[in-house]
A and B are shown apart, each in its own frame.
Chain A
Amino acid sequence: MCIINLIDSAKSGDWIKCLPAYQQKAINEWYDISGDYNIVADNWQKTTYEMYAPCGNTPTSKKLYFEQVLCEIEDLLRGNDKYKDLLKEINSIKVISYTALSTLIANSIADKIGSASVFIAPLIMLALETITQIGVKAWLNMRAKQGKENV
């Protein structure tokens, strides 16, 4: 199945349900407070590095993983060559659950970013929730426009 059709046919919450229960709990609590998956993603990545000075060490500087994730998802949806094997695999599957699809996407993107899949998966699912809300085409247009504005 085409990945774009799969994402466009998802309902709100379908991607978050692919995560382990303990991750879903925190994300849903944050979403109940903010109503915005982008804010939840920001909270998630800030929490990762806002540790309480691990036993005398200076806290490490923050890394913004969410933007990296968004760039990788954009490359994936635009059919970038580095994702051709993944896209070929997804296209060859007739029926796939969101859980299986999310695992394939998370493993592939985590490999590109150099992070453990379970660490980056929540950010990927939050990004997919945002994309599902507005549609893939609209999201890609928005990203293209943001890219031009940043030049």
Chain B
Amino acid sequence: MLITSIGDIVHPIGRKDEKGLIHLLGTGFFIKKTGLLVTAAHVVGNTDKDLLILLNDFNQENGYQDETDNNCVGFKATIKEIDPIHDICILKTDIKAESNFNITCSDGLTVGQNLTFWSYPHCNHGRKILTYNVAPLGAKVMINTHGLKTKSIILNTHSQIGLSGSPVLNTANEIVAMIIGSYIPNNYELGSVSVGGIDPQTINQTTRAISAEYIGDML
């Protein structure tokens, strides 16, 4: 079944705990292969135990998503492919759906152009609100990962938990990148200060997205 509505394409990813409660982890999106979604590898971690794709209520008749409704429908997801270098994970579900979004890359983008992305910001607080955002492309960068250079783009928007795994779209509605986190300095020291579980160095930072070509390499 071909899905074209953004509400059907972009979903929150969650995991059920031993008490049966579902914790939201980030964002994922259906691609042009039946039953497959893409998200950031760190959203999923190293195991697909109790991992779920959750439905949203974006397509309500009155146009409002109901944040008072804590019920959700989830579908089991398993890790099909994982690339920790580019922070990409492909999940497999039994949902017989594929999206109409083409996956391209960030090569053709111009610094300054506006890009859109859809995500579930602050989903770690239980918010299951599919949110639209527009951000200018601030920079195109090659990031060094132990000697391997990877293409990324930097969006001029403050990163928030829940954005990881969001598809970044150009004006032709093609997926050019996927958000994977804050863009912080290379000499960043892990865990130097933590306030409420958050390192202050990582907030008020711009947002990094990995070129979608690495998703294509995994298909």
Contacts and interface: CB of A to CB of B under 8 A. Distances in A.
Contacts, number: 116
Interface residues of A, number: 34
Contacts of A120: 46
Interface in B121-150: 124, 145-148
Interface in B164-219: 164, 179-184, 188, 190-191, 194, 197-199, 201-203, 205, 207-208, 214, 217-218
A142 B83 CA distance: 31
A52 B184 contact: yes
B82 interface: yes
B181 A54 contact: yes
Interface in A40-93: 43-44, 46-48, 50-61, 63, 65
Given A52-B182, A52-B208, A53-B184, A115 B47 contact: yes
Interface residues of B, number: 51
A55 B79 contact: no
Interface string A11-27: 00000000011110110
A57 B198 contact: yes
B40 interface: yes
B111 interface: no
What is the interface of chain A mostly: helix, strand, loop, or mixed? helix
Contacts of B146: 30, 43, 46-47
A47 B47 contact: no
B79 to A, nearest CB: 4
A68 to B, nearest CB: 11
A26 to B, nearest CB: 5
A54 B180 contact: yes
Nearest to B51: A116
Interface stretch (B12-20, B62-70, B155-163): B155-163
7 contacts: A22-B81, A48-B46, A53-B181, A56-B198, A57-B124, A58-B197, A119-B82
What 10 pairs between A and B have smallest CB-CB spacing?
A53-B202, A48-B84, A55-B159, A54-B181, A43-B146, A116-B79, A115-B46, A22-B217, A53-B182, A52-B181
